[in-house]
Structure 1
């Protein structure tokens, strides 16, 4: 598919409708910057936006992907061609996702090796079970009360909850830190545990963000 051709086609139809980029974006539920990317050939509409975009521009998906109005005798041929392009693009996206996952795992393995293999650090220094259990319990309780039903809703809710949960656990630890002020040797470990708690929450947030992004992409493709 020719992105530049499709973008020009979108721009022409938008102007024929007397719409600005912002007005078109508002009707579809996206930003005007996204519309600008489409029209300049720097991006393609996601599958989730094809139908609403075509509805606003008064065309069908086949014509949109062809970048032109189609006479009836060319419609079936173009439909088959566009379907092949969509299937190929979908496969390319899946392959890219797999490679991203493999690269992420490789980088994580390298980080673990550098941390524990080449240094004198011990894994026990980075594990505080009470903090982890508290964060998990707070997040689990919030999910139960949230009414989330689907996996996507749960992941989305957890992503928004895990950082505040980490902060709550840190606040819970403040009395222990204040109590340790009389013992200088205990101040450092207590501060380290509080920092670890925030680190756990940050790592969990990143993992949930990646999971949510991948799930959102699959939802749009379906």
Structure 2
């Protein structure tokens, strides 16, 4: 998955289209995050609807070619995947379909996974998944692994609804990804994936938003400079 408003949080549980979990701050003994600045939640919701509509309007042939370009760029970025745990996603509402790429990683020695929500306000888990493994229906009827070992990913591929020059990611509004990204090991790499049309001047990031390490689109890679 962003730390967007929770207005759009689904009413059933399993896997969101983005990643690593809806963690209640109280679970870690932390105070709840501050609410978004007035108007930010409504603005983000409108932007989300606009960007998803534009994404769905992209020709199927364009999306297929874009997914191939993104997969090639991810290969160059990640390098040899053998022995690493890579989590991706099941494509939803016009997102780049990286399932063939995920299958190729498994063939090259990686352990591959998809995210699964067990319950509201609990951490999302990553379950091992390879092409052909049994699937169940999750949130929005998105398939999730029915079985599979729970893994901690080294690399998390997060689909983007929108992104900005600060590498902040606009997601689906449930706040799943940022709150769990904060709990991942520091060595974990978060890579946002989407189309160039998802670029925005700003997503109006809030204090709880966490930027991606990299963003990959059909035209290449954007790398965030390390802080001081």
Q: TM-score, normalised by structure 2?
A: 0.22
Q: Which has the higher strand share?
A: 2
- Higher relative CO (CA 8 A, sep ≥ 6), structure 1 or 2? 2
TM norm structure 1: 0.22
